[in-house]
Amino acid sequence: MTRPSRLSERFLLPARLAACLLAGGVVMACPASMPEARAQTAAALSLAPADRGWVQRVQAYLNGITTLEAQFQQLAPDGKRTTGTAWLSRPGRMRFEYDKPSPLLLVANHGQVVFNDSQLGQTTTIPLDKTPLGLLLRPDLQLSGDVTVTGFTHANGLVQVTLARTASPGDGSLTLVFHDNPLALRSWSVVDAQGQETRVDLFNVRLGGGPQPDSLFDTDIGDQ
């Protein structure tokens, strides 16, 4: 199992690996961007009272998720589309299983995100708490403090909230899109430190369907 440097996370790994990591909110900043990222903090958006109410609803909705299962379609920065199934089990666990012929699998558990490319025989591990999407897997997500709301819109039946780590906004951002009535997660987009965006749309979302098998989140995925 390899443990990449920040440089290898974005630039030395294969393009399909980088796209998968972006989908899971895993890609981080490269060293060249780090001094600028660390020198600033995320600028909080000034929200109207009604908008603050929506942000609170989003926070409550996310904290109310125990388990999630959904089909997904991923749109990578190069325009390539892939599909698969996603599972989330809060706190701390997720799995992105790509449909064949894709060789990709991503699993988060025990504070780590493990990515496997079975075609290349390559496994990569990254700390979960260094990833944007890892925010959703916290046991008590607060959209304040070390997380800053940097963008918000509510129009045409959709609520869109953009989040960044307060201390390191240059590392990238996570934008969550919800249907507003009833409030339901529809998609997310991850933008990395180089401005590359990957979008994941969710379909047939099932929430709270009971405990998910521990085997789904087994991080020993080299042979799966």
What local confidence, expressed as pLDDT, does residue 100 receive? 92
Assigned domain for 197 exists: yes
pLDDT in tens, 93-110: 999 999 999 899 999 999
* 19 part of a folded domain: yes
| Number of domains within the chain | 1
Residue 165 has pLDDT above 50, yes or no: yes
| Separation of alpha carbons 107 and 215, rounded Å | 11
Full domain range(s) for residue 44:
6-209
Q: Report if residue 58 sits inside a domain.
A: yes
Q: Which helix (H) or strand (E) holds 218?
A: none
SS3 at position 219: coil
Q: How far is CA 71 from CA 46, 55, 140, 151, 203, in A?
A: 35, 26, 25, 26, 5
Whether the pLDDT of residue 26 is over 70: the answer is no
In a domain, 221, yes or no: no
Band of residue 3 on the pLDDT scale cut at 50, 70, 90: very low
Instruction: Assess if residue 147 is contained within a domain.
Output: yes
Q: What is the CATH number of the domain that holds 133?
A: 2.50.20.10
In a domain, 1, yes or no: no
Question: Is 146 part of a structural domain of the chain?
Answer: yes
State the pTM of this model. Answer: 0.81
CA angle 143, 131, 137 (to 5 degrees): 55
